[in-house]
Structure 1
Amino acid sequence: MTHKAALRMRTKTLIEAAGILPAMRVAVSRYVPTTDEALPFVLIYTPRETMGADGDARSGVPAFVSTVALSIVARVRVASEDLLDAALDALEAAIYAATIKNPAWWGDDVEGVESIDVDTEAGETDGIVGQVSMSMSVLYRVDFPPDVDDDLDVVAVSRAGGGGAFIDNLKGE
């Protein structure tokens, strides 16, 4: 499982466990339902990843500092316009509590959160609908060790002054 997939699944599990709203559907998906029957819901996805060299890019195993955009979109219906802001604020606070305030969310791979952008929107379909969209820039360190066949049967060894020896079956086979 990639670090992005692990982050999405961990976020889903913790938001579900928080029980933010009764009957709230939590999904790892980019698909935004358009029917009112789908409300309330939370969507979790990772639309973007940016990697920069971690150390000297010309030496050693390719290693990177990775910034993953974790997007969380939560949409709810409220009974009246007077309740909208309080409902969106509570939803945002609950997402924070399930994610960055929760030690389990950090796992052993997240190194930090560089930034968080939060947008709230509202509209009217069959009632008043509010949405919290949160994007977190989550930092990881990743490396890509080369895939090397390790089927050495003979190794040539030489000294700086010349000469050398062959060592057969270095593996002890």
Structure 2
Amino acid sequence: MQKVKLPVEIDPFKTAKRKLDYEGFLEIKRLPRFSDATLKVNSDVDVWLRFGTDPQGLVVVQGKALTEVELECQRCSETFSYAINVEFTYSPVCDESQVEELPEDYEPLQLNEDNYFLVAELIEDELLLALPIIPKHSLEDCKVQQNEQVFGEIDVVEEESKPNPFAVLQSLKKKD
């Protein structure tokens, strides 16, 4: 199947009724927050979206996104490649009361006033959540080896007893 650009927005209710699947890609220029969070994004994001209903009659959006990025290792400051493969399951909600009724496996999908969601925004959020909090190589690949890392106690410097600059004020107060 040929990969195509994904639509900008999708109505999940209509799409689920027709049981449509989307397979395509998102250009990096449509994901500015994700681009800013990495040194470089090596490829467009491959995306699969499947729409349907579950046995409870809830509309379900299942998806997967794949890409590879360049990050800076926080141990050695070298650049390394990091593959992102994220899977997600959403169910659209129209108001906050519906969020409590969703099964634990489903994330709520907030829709705009026209019952659409922005595809790029959803995928970008998932990709941002998939980035490591502290990017670093595996220990085998990092230039800074574990035995070279130094941990220790911080030397506590005892302060000399300095005169209190407010002692003069205290003595003036006592004279009153």
In the superposition, the TM-score normalised over structure 1's length comes to 0.26
Structure possessing the higher radius of gyration over alpha carbons: 2
Q: Which has the higher strand share?
A: 1
